[in-house]
Amino acid sequence: MNYIIFSGVPWDEYGYKRMLEVLPEREDIVFTGTMTSLQQEDSGIRALSLAEACTLPAKEYTALVSSPYWLQDVLAFGPAFIIALLERCPEGEDVNLWDKYSGLLAAKADLVGTASERLFLEQLLSRSGVVYLSGDDPLSYGMIRRGERLYFLADFEAVWKKALEELWLPPDTDCPDEPWAEIQLRHRADYYLSMCGKLPQQPTVHYLAASYLYLLGDGRAAELLTKSFELMLLHDYTDCLHSHYRFFSAIGAKRGNLELAVRQYEITAFTAEEKALSAQLQRWLGSGARELVQAELYRVNEDSAAAIRLLAGMESLEAKSLLLLNYMDTFQWEKALRLQQELDSMTAEPSSLMLFQGSGAIASVLLQTPVVEGTLQLLCGKRHAAIRSFLRAAGADQGARALFAEMADLEEAVGRLRGRTADEDV
C-alpha cells in the first residue's frame, strides 16, 4: 500500500512516526513537505513538494491528514482513501476554525484516528470508523515485519493495522471476525473497569467505563453511571445533572425503556427549547412513534451516530428532518444538502418542516444552508461560488462580514501550514 502524509508540522515534529512504522504492507510513503536526505534514508520515506505530490497517481495512495487545513488540497488530490488524524487545536490557531474544519475533515475521511481520548469519544458519537491511537496496555497484540526489523504492536496499533487493511480488503462477511472497532471499545471498557477497582472514589473513571459500556451496548453501563453520578454528588459537583444524569436517558433509549428515558430527559430539560423537545417526545410516545423518540434521545445526548443508524432507513418526513439535523451536527454536510433537497421536494412549503418539530433546530438548519453550500464550495476550490453563497447567507442574517473573515482566516491558516511544512531549511 502507498501512503501520502499531509502533516500539520515539519517532519521533525511529526507525532505519528511510530504509526508509520507499523503501516500494513507499506510500500511507497511520501511526506508532503521537506525532509533531509538523512531523514529520508532513516525513515524509508521520501519527501515531495505539494506540487510534486500532486503528480502522483492519487488513486494508488491513502492520505494521512493531520491538519484540517490540508482538506482543500487533499480533496483536490483525490486519494483512494482519506485518513483523518485528529488533534486538539494547537496553540496559536483559532479554535472555532480548527474544530469546524476538523469536523469537515473527519466527515470526509474513510477512517478517523486520534490520540486524544476526548476526541475519540466525541468522534465515536458522530460516526463509525474511528480508531483510538493511544493506550496503556503493555502487552503485544501482534507484530509486523519490515525488512530485518520486527515491530511489536500495542493493542491500538494492532487495531490501526486491522482498520487500514480493511480499507483495501473489506472483511469476509461469510466468516466475520469481531469488528476491530468493537475490540477496541472492549479493551477501553476493560481498562476503565479495572481502574474503577483501583480508584473506587473517582467519578471520571466510572463515567468513562459507563461510556464505553454504553457504546458496546453492555447493560452494566447504567450501574457504572449511577456510581459516577453518586460520586459526583458526594464530591459536591452539583452541575452534573446535564453532564451525567441526562446520559441515563441515552442508556434507557438504547435498552428500549423509552418511558423512563423520556422522564429522565425531562428532569434535565431547563431551557425553553429543551422543554419544547420534552413535550414533543411525550407526544411521539403517545402516538407510538418510538423510533423518533429513541433517535432524538440519542441526538440530545450527542450520539448522532446512533441516531443516524436508526433514522437512515426511515421514510417519514419527520424521520428525514431529524436525520438532517444529525447530518448537520456531524458535519456530513453533503448528505445534509442532498437530504434537504429531497425534503424540499416532499413539502410544498419549507416552513412546514419547522412546524412539526416544535423547536428552532430545523429553522436554524434551513437558515444555514447557504453557509453550508459556501463552505463546501470553498473546500472544492470554487472560491467565487462560495463568495456568492456567503452573500446569499448574508441577506438573511447580515453575517457576511463574519463569513468573509472566516474565509480569510482559513486562507491564512492554509498559507501558514504550507509554510511550516515546505519552507524549512534542508
Partner 1 sequence: MPYDAEADAVSPERLAGRYSYLEREGLLPLPAKDGVTIVVELTHREWAEECLSRLLVHSGPAVRLIGVAMREDFQLQPLLERFSAEAELSFLPYERGNYRINEALADARTSFIVLLEDRVLVTAGWLNELLWPAIDDPATGAMAPRSAAEEQEGREVLRFGNDLELSAYVNHQLSRRRGEWREAGVLSGPCLVVTREMLQRTGGLDFSLRERRFIIADWCLRARQLGTRLAISAASYVHVLQPLAARAPHKNSEAQAAAGLAYCAKWRIPDERLREHGLPVPENLSALERQPAIPLGKTPAALPLVTAVVYFEEKWPAEASIQRQLLLQGQQSYGNIRWISVRDSWTDTTPDFPVHERDTVITVQGEKPWLHALENISGMYQSEVTVYMSASVSYDSEYVARIVKALLHSPAALIVSAAPGLAESELPDNPERGTAVVLPLERTAHRGDILPGRIVKRESSRRSLLLCPGPELAVGYIAGGPVPGAAVPGSTDRPSERKGGTQP
- Per CB under 8 A, residues contacting partner 1 are 18, 138-143, 145, 149-152, 154-155, 158-159, 162, 177-178, 180, 183, 186-187, 190
Three cell numbers, residue 18: 511510530
Three cell numbers, residue 163: 482498520
Q: What span, in angstroms and rounded, lies between the C-alpha atoms of 203 and 188?
A: 16
Q: Cα 217 vs. chain centroid, distance in angstroms?
A: 20
In whole angstroms, how close is the CB of 180 to partner 1 at the nearest point? 8
In whole angstroms, how close is the CB of 252 to partner 1 at the nearest point? 23
Q: Cα 371 vs. chain centroid, distance in angstroms?
A: 20
In whole angstroms, how close is the CB of 317 to partner 1 at the nearest point? 39
Taking the least distance from each CB to partner 1, the nearer of 183 and 363 is: 183
In whole angstroms, how close is the CB of 126 to partner 1 at the nearest point? 25
* CA torsion, ordered 302, 308, 314, 318, to nearest 10 deg: 40
User: Scanning the structure block, which residue is given the C-alpha cell 421514510?
Assistant: 315
Q: Which of 272, 287, 16, 286 is nearest to 134 (CA)?
A: 16
In whole angstroms, how close is the CB of 223 to partner 1 at the nearest point? 16
Could you give the strand order of the β-sheet that contains 46-48, starting from the edge strand earlier in sequence? 46-48, 29-32, 2-6, 61-65, 81-86, 111-114, 130-132
Those residues whose C-beta lies under 8 Å from the C-beta of residue 285, and which sit 6 or more positions away, are 258, 259, 262, 293
In whole angstroms, how close is the CB of 139 to partner 1 at the nearest point? 5
Taking the least distance from each CB to partner 1, the nearer of 183 and 407 is: 183
Taking the least distance from each CB to partner 1, the nearer of 146 and 283 is: 146
Taking the least distance from each CB to partner 1, the nearer of 52 and 177 is: 177
In whole angstroms, how close is the CB of 136 to partner 1 at the nearest point? 10
Taking the least distance from each CB to partner 1, the nearer of 19 and 208 is: 19
Those residues whose C-beta lies under 8 Å from the C-beta of residue 364, and which sit 6 or more positions away, are none
Q: What span, in angstroms and rounded, lies between the C-alpha atoms of 221 and 185?
A: 13
| Residues written for the chain | 426
Taking the least distance from each CB to partner 1, the nearer of 177 and 412 is: 177
Taking the least distance from each CB to partner 1, the nearer of 106 and 209 is: 209
Taking the least distance from each CB to partner 1, the nearer of 145 and 384 is: 145
In whole angstroms, how close is the CB of 172 to partner 1 at the nearest point? 12
Q: Residue type at 394?
A: A
DSSP bridge pairs for 3: 29, 62
Those residues whose C-beta lies under 8 Å from the C-beta of residue 152, and which sit 6 or more positions away, are 140, 142, 143
Q: What letters, b where the CB count within 10 A reaches 16 and e where it falls short, cover 382-416? A: eeeebbebbeebbeeeebeeebeebbeebeebbee
Taking the least distance from each CB to partner 1, the nearer of 175 and 426 is: 175
Those residues whose C-beta lies under 8 Å from the C-beta of residue 394, and which sit 6 or more positions away, are 400, 401, 403
Contact 48, 32 (CB under 8 A): yes
Those residues whose C-beta lies under 8 Å from the C-beta of residue 294, and which sit 6 or more positions away, are 253, 256, 258, 310
Taking the least distance from each CB to partner 1, the nearer of 176 and 286 is: 176
Three cell numbers, residue 294: 429513541
In whole angstroms, how close is the CB of 255 to partner 1 at the nearest point? 18
Taking the least distance from each CB to partner 1, the nearer of 98 and 141 is: 141
In whole angstroms, how close is the CB of 138 to partner 1 at the nearest point? 4
In whole angstroms, how close is the CB of 21 to partner 1 at the nearest point? 8
Q: Which of 285, 248, 280 is nearest to 267 (CA)?
A: 248
